[in-house]
């Protein structure tokens, strides 16, 4: 062990030994008598093991920690020189020396590193340059974990490595966090370490990738990019990591290994996009058994294979025949036409088509008879009610009454249902379902369409009521056995809120692209900006008069169409009159699907000024018609997740002037942007359509049913 020859006394020496057999542990103790061995039965990954070791070192009072891989050999003066460099520069978080290949010691592997700020890709400086002339010491973007002297003060300030990365790219991600917090990262221009590059991933220093390396090198940069703020930088980094970085990694796959390594590369891209983190799926344990992945792992079953153009058609009636499925949501399509309503209508139809007997619990939204949905029994458990206050916030009374209705219905029919799927909001229906089914083996699945942070709760309903709402949300998270989400961001939020159950990230809600060729229609006449959605505060409809006023300064002939209805419509009409813009705007009221399709396809762009969107169906519906979008970058507006700036629209700051400039950009881009918008939807709908999502749910239902029949899932959930 090269550390034994260090010119600086190292105390303590901690060795985190993962998956060592008793015999190997005994040999390790004999070879390193001065080290404290920290045995770990499972492979937690490099990041988790490092976090464990650093935490133990900090508990002993250490001020600096040298991270060294077991496949690295350090020079006796390594610690002394790195420490001198660190103390020479104020607020240094980590110092790393130049590193040479162990099997090619005449060549450098690391001599500083760069993270391209715009594209999010990384590279080592001095890569494969002669060892004899390493670049001089300098600030750098990150230091690889094979040999790094880390400040414990910086570690406490910045936080640990991202455990869910498992291995690779966690050093670059930590480096960006450290630099953002005002810490310096230094490269020391002396070769003081030799490293057996690629030993942990099986590449053995070759330029070609193993399946493990391909998976993590594809997934983690994409996840890093997808979590970047602000939105324009996220879009740019996503492009860099998905396109540029993947193209480079594709050259590192041997032609004969595309079936294995290439598949791992593609799987990594998918998992990075959806937020499925932790250990590589092939290495994960089977359902219901312990897994070595980090706690923030998200379980995402792959969508079922498809046949004859029907996504998920392998999940057939024989799997769900006779299953008594209950869907719970207080709104019903087409009485209301939001994203959740459309989702539950599509899901009910899919389950019924697969042979399930479906009951949809809702509130009464019709005058005579409930709408007829083939194979679905629509049941009103509460009467009609107005859901929103005049200011556009949700009333508390209707959700409470709906929750009571759900409770009493399920108590009477708890022996008549095999599975229940409920929206997280309004929360009282979820609480009612869990209470009514307590002590049964009926599985409850929860669609977490939105997860609000405390600050948003307080801004929505005030400090006191917002604190109560947030507490109820946390309770509902704790009561969720299996969550469905549509965005990886929401999966991460659930984990941060303490969810311990399973999470399935569904493919998406994109409308299916009709068969046959499609072309974006060219527009004629004055440009038109369209808003469609509920006229409530969260949708930002009150901003559109101001947006029109600002935009007409740049595009003088611009017109505005506002579709939909709600409590804020009078406010919009009043503001348009005040600004003298009534003749340049048209408020259509509620429209049917056919009318809406005509409005969207005829618009120059769709404006999405929402302060919050749990998914942003308005974006994908607009793109399905080749109409680009202008989306406001509010923190809770997750519609930005669907926008690639300049490809299917633009993401702008959340104020009328910035939205107006975004409209002008889209109008100026013209037919070229409409064509790329339609192409974006065509490609995205292959893997993110609502049909694939319903197939995923049907697959989970069928697997759960088989497991319970076979006795593999004991007891109540």
Mean pLDDT for 1-17 is 81
Residue with tokens 């005040």: 578
Element (H, E) at 186: strand 184-195
Alpha-helix residue ranges (DSSP H) falling in 615-655: 617-624
317 pLDDT higher than 70: no
What confidence category does residue 520 fall into, taking pLDDT thresholds of 50, 70 and 90? Answer: low
Residue with tokens 């009318």: 595
> Which of 5-9, 143-147, 196-200, 420-424 shows the lowest per-residue confidence on average (mean pLDDT)?
196-200
636 pLDDT higher than 70: yes
> What confidence score (pLDDT) does residue 573 get?
95
> What confidence score (pLDDT) does residue 339 get?
79
Residue with tokens 């969107």: 613
For 528-688, give the CATH class.
alpha beta
310 pLDDT higher than 50: no
85 pLDDT higher than 50: yes
In angstroms, the CA 704 to CA 710 distance is 10
In angstroms, the CA 59 to CA 320 distance is 54
Mean pLDDT for 576-603 is 92
> What confidence score (pLDDT) does residue 594 get?
87
Mean pLDDT for 57-70 is 89
Mean pLDDT for 21-43 is 76
Best CA proximity match to 396, nearest among 330, 342, 456, 447: 330
Mean pLDDT for 237-252 is 88
Alpha-helix residue ranges (DSSP H) falling in 354-450: 397-413, 427-436
> What confidence score (pLDDT) does residue 120 get?
92
Tell me what the pLDDT averaged over the chain comes to: 84
> What confidence score (pLDDT) does residue 634 get?
87
Element (H, E) at 632: strand 629-632
pLDDT digits (tens, 9 = 90+) for 371-380: 888 889 999 9
The CA dihedral of 560, 562, 568, 573, to the nearest 10 degrees, is 50
**Residue 482 near residue 442, CB atoms below 8 Å:** no
Contacts of 530 (CB under 8 A, 6+ apart): 560, 561, 562, 563, 599, 600, 603, 605, 606, 607, 622, 627
Q: Global pTM?
A: 0.54
What residue segments make up the domains of the chain, in order of their start? Answer: 2-195, 211-283, 317-509+693-709, 528-688
Alpha-helix residue ranges (DSSP H) falling in 90-202: 152-158, 170-180
> What confidence score (pLDDT) does residue 12 get?
82
514 pLDDT higher than 70: no
Burial class (CB in 10 A: 0-12, 13-18, 19+), 199: middle
Mean pLDDT for 538-566 is 94
> What confidence score (pLDDT) does residue 562 get?
96
**Neighbouring-strand partners of residue 637:** 613
311 pLDDT higher than 60: no
DSSP conformational letter for 520: P
> What confidence score (pLDDT) does residue 16 get?
86
Percent of the chain with pLDDT over 70: 89
pLDDT digits (tens, 9 = 90+) for 261-297: 988 999 999 999 988 888 887 544 333 333 333 333 3
> What confidence score (pLDDT) does residue 523 get?
60
**Residue 625 near residue 511, CB atoms below 8 Å:** no
Tokens at residue 489, please?
């961001």
Best CA proximity match to 384, nearest among 403, 362, 404: 362
In angstroms, the CA 252 to CA 246 distance is 10
**Neighbouring-strand partners of residue 636:** 612
**Neighbouring-strand partners of residue 40:** 18
Percent of the chain with pLDDT over 90: 43
361 pLDDT higher than 70: yes
Mean pLDDT for 235-245 is 89
> What confidence score (pLDDT) does residue 629 get?
96
Best CA proximity match to 192, nearest among 120, 100, 264, 125: 100
Distance of CA 354 to the CA centre of its chain: 29
- Topology match between the domains 2-195 and 528-688: no
In angstroms, the CA 643 to CA 677 distance is 10
| R_g of the chain computed on alpha carbons | 28
Tokens at residue 662, please?
């975004």
> What confidence score (pLDDT) does residue 393 get?
67
CA-to-CA separations, 30 to 25, 33, 35, 621, in angstroms, rounded: 9, 6, 10, 65
In angstroms, the CA 236 to CA 231 distance is 9
> What confidence score (pLDDT) does residue 199 get?
54
DSSP conformational letter for 448: -
515 pLDDT higher than 60: no
What confidence category does residue 559 fall into, taking pLDDT thresholds of 50, 70 and 90? Answer: very high
Contacts of 367 (CB under 8 A, 6+ apart): none
Tokens at residue 5, please?
């020859």
Bridge-based pairing of strands 357-363 and 108-110 is unpaired
Mean pLDDT for 117-144 is 91
> What confidence score (pLDDT) does residue 473 get?
92
Best CA proximity match to 501, nearest among 491, 515, 489: 491
Mean pLDDT for 174-198 is 90
238 pLDDT higher than 50: yes
> What confidence score (pLDDT) does residue 241 get?
92
Bridge-based pairing of strands 122-124 and 113-115 is antiparallel
479 pLDDT higher than 80: yes
pLDDT digits (tens, 9 = 90+) for 387-400: 767 666 677 788 88
CATH architecture of the region 317-509+693-709: 3-Layer(aba) Sandwich (3.40)
> What confidence score (pLDDT) does residue 32 get?
75
612 pLDDT higher than 90: no
> For 510-514, which contacts have Cβ atoms below 8 Å and span 24 or more sequence positions?
510/620, 510/624, 510/681, 510/684, 510/685, 510/688, 510/689, 510/690, 511/620, 511/621, 511/624, 511/685, 511/689, 511/690, 512/685, 512/689, 512/690, 512/691, 513/624, 513/681, 513/682, 513/685, 513/689
> Which of 292-301, 342-351, 418-427, 579-588 shows the lowest per-residue confidence on average (mean pLDDT)?
292-301
**Residue 342 near residue 333, CB atoms below 8 Å:** yes
298 pLDDT higher than 60: no
What confidence category does residue 711 fall into, taking pLDDT thresholds of 50, 70 and 90? Answer: low
**Residue 39 near residue 17, CB atoms below 8 Å:** yes
What confidence category does residue 224 fall into, taking pLDDT thresholds of 50, 70 and 90? Answer: very high
> What confidence score (pLDDT) does residue 399 get?
86
In angstroms, the CA 289 to CA 296 distance is 16
33 pLDDT higher than 80: no
| CATH number for domain 2-195, candidates 3.20.20.80, 3.30.360.10, 3.30.565.10, 3.90.550.60 | 3.90.550.60
Does 137 or 460 have the greater pLDDT score? 137
Kindly report the number of other CB atoms within 10 A of residue 431's CB atom. 18
> What confidence score (pLDDT) does residue 340 get?
86
């Amino acid at each position: 062990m090269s550390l034994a020859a260090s010119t600086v006394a190292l105390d303590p020496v901690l060795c985190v030994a993962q998956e060592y057999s008793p015999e190997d542990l005994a040999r390790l103790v004999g070879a390193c008598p001065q080290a404290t061995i920290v045995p770990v039965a499972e492979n937690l990954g490099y990041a988790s093991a490092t976090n464990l070791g650093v935490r133990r070192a900090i508990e002993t009072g250490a001020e600096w920690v040298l991270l060294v891989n077991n496949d690295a050999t350090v020079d006796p003066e390594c610690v002394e020189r790195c420490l001198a460099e660190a103390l020479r520069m104020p607020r240094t978080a980590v110092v790393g020396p130049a590193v040479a290949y162990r099997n090619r010691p005449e060549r450098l592997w690391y001599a500083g590193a760069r993270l391209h700020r715009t594209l999010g890709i990384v590279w080592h400086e001095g890569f494969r340059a002669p060892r004899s002339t390493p670049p001089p010491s300098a600030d750098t973007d990150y230091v690889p974990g094979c040999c790094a002297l880390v400040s414990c003060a910086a570690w406490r300030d910045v936080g640990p490595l991202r455990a869910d990365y498992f291995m690779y790219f966690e050093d670059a991600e930590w480096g960006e966090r450290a630099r953002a917090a005002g810490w310096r990262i230094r490269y020391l221009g002396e070769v003081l370490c030799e490293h057996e590059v690629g030993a942990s991933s099986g590449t053995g220093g070759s330029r070609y990738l193993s399946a493990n390396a391909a998976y993590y090198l594809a997934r983690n940069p994409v996840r890093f990019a997808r979590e970047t703020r602000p939105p324009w930088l996220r879009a740019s980094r996503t492009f860099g990591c998905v396109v540029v970085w993947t193209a480079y990694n594709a050259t590192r796959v041997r032609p004969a290994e595309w079936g294995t390594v290439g598949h791992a590369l593609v799987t990594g891209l998918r998992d990075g996009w959806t937020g499925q983190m932790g250990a590589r799926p092939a290495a994960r344990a089977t359902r219901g058994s312990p897994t070595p992945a980090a706690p923030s792992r998200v379980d995402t079953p792959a969508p079922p294979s498809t046949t004859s153009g029907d996504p998920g058609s392998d999940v057939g009636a024989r799997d769900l025949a006779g299953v008594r499925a209950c869907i719970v949501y207080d709104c019903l399509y087409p009485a209301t036409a939001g994203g959740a309503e459309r989702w539950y209508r599509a899901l009910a139809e899919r389950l019924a088509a697969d042979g399930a007997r479906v009951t949809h619990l809702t509130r009464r939204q019709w005058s005579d008879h409930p709408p007829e949905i083939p194979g679905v029994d629509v049941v009103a458990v509460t009467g009609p009610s107005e859901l929103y206050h005049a200011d556009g916030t949700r009333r508390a009374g209707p959700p409470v009454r709906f929750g009571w209705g759900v409770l009493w219905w399920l108590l009477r029919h708890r022996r008549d249902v095999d599975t229940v799927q409920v929206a997280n909001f309004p929360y009282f229906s979820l609480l009612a379902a869990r209470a009514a089914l307590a002590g049964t083996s009926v599985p409850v699945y929860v669609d977490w369409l939105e997860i609000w942070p405390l600050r948003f709760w307080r801004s929505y309903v005030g400090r006191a009521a917002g604190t109560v709402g947030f507490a109820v949300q946390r309770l509902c998270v704790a009561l969720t056995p299996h969550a469905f989400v549509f965005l990886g961001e929401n999966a991460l939020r659930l984990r941060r809120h303490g969810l311990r159950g399973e999470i399935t990230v569904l493919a998406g809600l994109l409308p299916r692209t009709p068969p046959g060729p499609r072309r974006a229609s060219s527009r004629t006449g004055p440009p038109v900006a369209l808003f469609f959605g509920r006229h409530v505060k969260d949708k930002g409809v009150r901003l559109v008069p101001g947006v029109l006023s600002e935009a007409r300064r740049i595009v003088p002939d611009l017109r505005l169409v506002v579709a939909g209805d709600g409590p804020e419509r009078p406010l919009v009409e009043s503001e348009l009159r005040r600004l003298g813009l009534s003749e340049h705007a048209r408020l259509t009221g509620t429209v049917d699907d056919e009318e809406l399709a005509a409005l969207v396809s005829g618009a120059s762009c769709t404006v999405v000024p929402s302060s919050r969107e749990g998914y942003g169906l308005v974006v994908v519906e607009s793109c399905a018609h080749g109409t680009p979008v202008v989306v406001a970058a509010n923190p809770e507006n997750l519609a930005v997740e669907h926008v690639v700036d300049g490809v299917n629209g633009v993401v702008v700051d959340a104020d009328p002037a910035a939205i107006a400039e975004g409209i002008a950009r889209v109008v100026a881009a013209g037919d070229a942007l409409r064509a790329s918008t339609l192409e974006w939807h065509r490609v995205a709908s292959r893997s993110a359509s609502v049909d694939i999502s319903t197939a995923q749910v049907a697959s989970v239902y069928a697997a759960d049913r088989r497991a319970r029949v076979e006795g593999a899932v004991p007891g109540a959930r």
